[in-house]
């Protein structure tokens, strides 16, 4: 019998989606599930985006330019300018989601066996996409005790080898919700220049910052242009996860020219999704402020409710819409299956993401879960109440 590839065998399962069979069985039993496992916003997609697709006047659904519509990239450059990020539309490559932007980035700057240093815990697909490219993820551990702040720069330096090509961060972070400060970004920028590394920043949650904090992009570092690559997406910002539109942004012309060859190989990003995404950029500023206020309220509710549960450790995220909670259990992987399969309160239960899937270190996050606060505050209170009763019942 023919064998599958070593790469295929090494590809990890999604820590978010692997529990779907347990959820399906729970639904068959008539249970209602509060989904805290996945970052699917319940915010309505902007009417501007939906109307643009409904009212199109296309007669032929043609290929677009491999880099994406020029009109879309020009509007993206204008959007970035509002955030003190000065780039040209020529510095932007439209992709099929942020994931493809990361694939193009890794493909453009690494060879098999090269290494990328990533603060851990990290977005699970960083590991998957690196595995696809036969690149090694080298974790540098952050901890719940420090609120998942940037590890010491010496910890990064100790991991740098001749095979190190880049440092990759998510800012604000998925799964931790940590927002890197301007000072922390400058520390990373100095390190990237010192060792001639690329600094990749996944900034898809740029708008989602709380407590009057400000997001600081690596592209705001004027002397980092040859090193800085930003990954972005419309998925969370405009509640358009299904559009699968993202972009790669860099002022490094050689990197962008190389990425363009990858873009040409996949022909072009999807036309209707670009139409919707371009129109979404026309939303008024109130859309962002109202959405962020809604998520900050949900965060406050979630954190305050979690802190009432004995033995639960959680820190307050300052960005994105996730947090890591450490539970008074030994194995969150088992607990997340058990709460779906064997526990309910009035026929309601909760779906969580075991945090072990966001670590590459052995047993990292074994007693932690990632929670996405994408439900309304009333449902979040119900969900946390169920978790509290489950922990009281769970045969640890």
DSSP 45-112: PPHHHHHHHHT---SS-----TT--HHHHHHHHHHHHTTT----GGGEEEESHHHHHHHHHHHHH--T
216: CB partners within 8 A, 6+ apart? 180, 181, 182, 185
Whether the pLDDT of residue 16 is over 80: the answer is no
287: CB partners within 8 A, 6+ apart? 46
CB half-sphere exposure, 264, CA atoms < 13 A = 6
Domain-located, residue 1: no
Domain residue limits at 297: 6-44+286-393
Of 150, 126, 154, 152, nearest to 138 (Cα)?
Answer: 126
Alpha carbon distance 176, 293 (integer Å): 19
**Total number of domains constituting the chain:** 2
Of the candidates 246, 264, 280, which is a domain's last residue? 280
Of the candidates 241, 257, 280, which is a domain's last residue? 280
Looking at residue 13, its pLDDT comes to 78
Angle at 252 between CA 249 and CA 256, to 5 degrees: 60
Domain-located, residue 20: yes
In this structure, the answer to whether residues 71 and 183 fall within a common structural domain is: yes
In this structure, the answer to whether residues 110 and 128 fall within a common structural domain is: yes
Is-contact 239 41, C-beta < 8 A?
Answer: yes
Looking at residue 219, its pLDDT comes to 98
In this structure, the answer to whether residues 230 and 130 fall within a common structural domain is: yes
Of the candidates 243, 261, 280, which is a domain's last residue? 280
What are the structure tokens assigned to 328, written together? 């008074």
Looking at residue 11, its pLDDT comes to 87
Q: For residue range 232-291, what is the model confidence (pLDDT) as tens digits? A: 999 999 999 999 999 999 999 999 999 999 999 999 999 999 999 999 999 999 999 999
CATH number where 208 lies:
3.40.640.10
Angle at 320 between CA 357 and CA 203, to 5 degrees: 90
Q: For residue range 75-94, what is the model confidence (pLDDT) as tens digits? A: 999 999 999 999 999 999 99
Kindly indicate the confidence band of residue 12, based on its pLDDT and cuts at 50, 70 and 90: confident
342: CB partners within 8 A, 6+ apart? none
What are the structure tokens assigned to 178, written together? 């940590």
CATH number where 314 lies:
3.90.1150.10
What's the rounded mean pLDDT across residues 291-296?
A: 97
| Burial of residue 145, with CB atoms counted within 10 A of its CB: 0-12 exposed, 13-18 middle, 19 or more buried | exposed
Looking at residue 155, its pLDDT comes to 98
In this structure, the answer to whether residues 57 and 206 fall within a common structural domain is: yes
Q: What is the separation, in whole angstroms, between the first and last Cα of the chain?
A: 42
Q: For residue range 113-138, what is the model confidence (pLDDT) as tens digits? A: 999 999 999 999 999 999 999 999 99
Taken in order 73, 75, 80, 84, the sign of the CA dihedral is: positive
Q: Where are the beta strands (DSSP E) in the chain?
A: 32-35, 92-95, 115-120, 136-141, 164-170, 198-202, 228-233, 246-249, 313-314, 322-326, 348-351, 353-354, 368-372
């Amino acid at each position: 019998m023919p064998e599958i590839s070593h790469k295929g065998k090494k590809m990890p399962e999604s820590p978010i989606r692997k529990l779907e069979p347990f959820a399906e069985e729970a639904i068959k039993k008539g249970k209602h599930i509060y989904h805290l496992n996945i970052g699917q916003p319940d915010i309505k997609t902007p009417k501007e985006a939906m109307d643009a697709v409904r009212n199109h006047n296309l007669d032929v659904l043609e290929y677009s330019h491999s880099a994406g519509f020029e009109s879309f990239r020009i509007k993206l450059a204008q959007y970035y300018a509002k955030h003190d990020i000065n780039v040209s539309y020529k510095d932007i490559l439209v992709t099929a989601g942020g994931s493809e932007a990361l694939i193009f980035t890794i493909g453009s700057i690494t060879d098999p066996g090269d290494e990328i240093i990533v603060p851990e815990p990290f977005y699970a697909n960083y590991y998957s996409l690196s595995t696809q490219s036969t690149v090694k993820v080298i974790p540098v551990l952050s901890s719940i005790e420090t609120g998942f702040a940037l590890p010491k720069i010496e910890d990064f330096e100790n991991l740098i080898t001749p095979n190190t090509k880049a440092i990759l961060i998510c800012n604000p972070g998925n799964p931790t919700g940590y927002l890197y400060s301007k000072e922390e970004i400058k520390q990373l920028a100095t390190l990237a220049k010192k060792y001639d590394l690329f600094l990749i920043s996944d900034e898809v949650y740029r708008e989602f910052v709380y407590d009057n904090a400000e997001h600081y992009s690596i592209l705001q570092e004027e002397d980092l242009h040859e090193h800085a690559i930003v990954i972005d997406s419309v998925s969370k910002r405009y509640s358009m996860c299904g559009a699968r539109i993202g972009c790669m942004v860099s002022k490094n012309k050689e990197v962008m020219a190389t990425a363009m060859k990858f873009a040409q190989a996949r022909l072009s990003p999807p036309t209707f999704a670009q139409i919707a995404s371009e129109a979404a950029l026309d939303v008024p500023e109130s859309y962002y402020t109202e959405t962020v206020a809604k998520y900050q309220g949900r965060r406050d509710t979630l954190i305050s409710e979690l802190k009432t549960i004995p033995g639960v450790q959680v820190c307050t995220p300052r960005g994105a819409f996730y947090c890591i909670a450490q539970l008074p259990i030994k194995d969150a992987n088992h607990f997340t299956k058990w709460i779906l399969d064997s526990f309910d309160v009035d026929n309601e239960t909760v779906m969580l993401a075991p945090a072990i899937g966001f670590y590459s270190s052995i047993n990292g996050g074994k007693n932690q879960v990632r929670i996405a606060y994408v439900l309304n505050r009333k449902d979040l209170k119900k969900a946390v109440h169920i978790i509290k009763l489950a922990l009281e019942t769970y045969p640890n």
